[in-house]
A and B are shown apart, each in its own frame.
Chain A
Amino acid sequence: MENREAENKEVNDNKIIVEMKNVKKSFNQNHVLKDVNFQLNRGENLVVLGKSGTGKSVLIKCIVKLIEIDSGSLMVFNKDTLTLKEKELNEIRAKIGFLFQSGALYDSMTVRENLEFPIRRRSKTVTQDELDSSVKEVLENVGLEDTIDKMPSELSGGMRKRISLARTLILKPELMLYDEPTTGLDPITSQEISELILEVQKKYKTTSIIITHDIKCAKITSNRIMVIDGGGFIAEGTYDELKASDNELVSSFFK
């Protein structure tokens, strides 16, 4: 009986990738996250919707420990982020891909160097042939094979986002965190990026958190949507469920 309970717990633990309980985060007097609770299950695409300045980006930066939480509990891959040592943190980060709002491509490096950078830092024994094939594979996946020797300044906004996505995919992450992937892009490119996110999830079998206020992106990519406001989640459901919500703020996103 006890064995069975332990087995069930292990299955549940493996199913839950991120778990936040009563997470609080403030910057001086600005209380950004007041009481955040949520679970992210393996294989799902969770979209976090919210107005600007409601702490959406802070939320995912806490997951990779770019920002430390003030109190509460944050478990990532069953590890408590508050007690992680440097080595353990790096192991967890190796499983996470983070697509930054600005793309964050390294300006002084070519696309090839940008893509090779994380692999070279992660693996000391990687050969040039292996690097070349990995770079080629991810560039094919984002449809930009011919940009390999270009500098980031030569790329358009959409291309930069794609290359940025390729750079995170090259480490084959289990969890993808997208920080406003379609912000600043035209509607057509936004749709292409949203579809790419979905493709990536299917191909690499990733779990994702997508931070956005772009409702079209949310519609295409989400399995579940959570709406954040005033430092905590105020609504949760599928796209259709939230579209029918009575809450004024929630429904305002769908207008």
Chain B
Amino acid sequence: MKKDLKQRADQKEKKNTIPISEQTNSSFASFKNVFIEVAMVSLFAVRYFKEMFKPPFEFKEFLKQCYLTGYRSLALVGITGFIMGLVLTIQSTPTMAEFGAEAWIPGMVAVSIIREIGPVITALICAGKVGSGIGAELGSMKVTEQIDSMEVSGANPFKYLVVTRIMATTLMIPVLVIFSDVISLYGSYVGVNLTDKVSFTLFFSKVFESLDFIDLIPAFIKTFFFGFIIGLIGCFKGYNSNKGTEGVGQAANSAVVIASLMVFIIDMIAVQITTLFS
């Protein structure tokens, strides 16, 4: 009986222990999948640029997507921007006070918000809200054969669904970032006034004193890339989602995860380039 149990345990252990060669094969396969995915996204992006300049232009749908991406995200971006500015100011005030450098708070907050926190946080919020929305919408359209139906009826679904959405996110996310930056600075102004009394004019003159073109321009340019990648990943995941409701969920989820990761990667590259030129 004891021997039998030992034999069974050995067999079980054998089953659970995957040979090293198989482990290497599986990690090789997952690496291969990553490269295949990157190649497919690149091809998708190339197709986007090709289709973007080809008539007919779906102007009405583009405006609708701008409204959905931009206007519908204003409240969320505004509230988070305000809290971001307020919290950053409240948290940094005691430390700055220790060095007697409270007067530098507006400048410090402005540089950190405009250069880094504003664009990145807004892009992450949009990756969550807009990217997942696009992934889920296109995924469910794929599952319910609406994309096939468009194709059969003579429309170009890529142009109608993908080009308009990527263009909308590319143009609207920079606008949302500017909006978020302004609201954040106002949040910071409110934060400063919780402990001190600083006039609106003085606060914002300190803000603009500390900002330079090298703070504004690269930060603004990278937001177009953030917008592009959020739209691209959302559309790619939705447009190529597998059949079934599970596929829709996966499309929405991976759209957020990959777009968020890409935002950080683009940000890192942008910082390197900015540092190189400054």
Residue in A102, A121, A124 whose CB lies within 8 Å of B153? A121
Contact A102 B154 (CB under 8 A): no
Q: Which residues of A contact B150 (CB under 8 A)?
A: 106, 117
CA distance A61 to B152 in the complex (A): 10
As a 0/1 sequence over residues 115 to 132 of chain A, the CB contacts with chain B under 8 angstroms (1 = contact) are: 001100110100000000
Closest CB of chain A to B251's CB: distance in Å?
Answer: 16
A101 touches B145 (CB 8 A): yes
Grouping DSSP codes into helix (H, G, I), strand (E, B) and loop, the B interface class, with mixed when no group exceeds half, is helix
Check B100 for interface membership: any CB of A closer than 8 A.
Answer: no
CB distance from A105 to the nearest CB of B (A): 8
Q: Closest Cβ of chain B: how far from A206's Cβ, in Å?
A: 15
| Inter-chain contact A98/B154, CB cutoff 8 Å | no
Besides the known contacts A117-B150, A171-B154, 18 further A-B residue pairs in the complex with CB atoms under 8 A apart: A64-B152, A66-B152, A93-B151, A98-B149, A100-B145, A102-B144, A104-B149, A106-B146, A106-B149, A106-B150, A107-B140, A107-B146, A117-B153, A118-B155, A121-B153, A124-B56, A167-B153, A168-B153
Q: Is A14's CB within 8 Å of the partner chain B?
A: no
B10 at the interface (CB under 8 A from A): no
Asked if A94 lies at the interface with its beta carbon under 8 angstroms from chain B, I say: yes
Q: Does A96 contact B (CB under 8 A)?
A: yes
> Please, which residues of chain B bring their CB within 8 A of the CB of A102?
144-145
| Interface residue? B116 (CB, 8 A) | no
| A61: B residues at CB distance < 8 A | 148
Interface check A90, CB cutoff 8 A: yes
24 contacting pairs across A/B (C-beta < 8 A): A61-B148, A66-B148, A66-B152, A90-B154, A93-B153, A94-B154, A98-B149, A98-B152, A100-B145, A100-B148, A102-B145, A104-B148, A105-B146, A106-B141, A106-B149, A107-B140, A107-B144, A107-B146, A117-B150, A117-B155, A121-B153, A121-B154, A121-B155, A171-B154
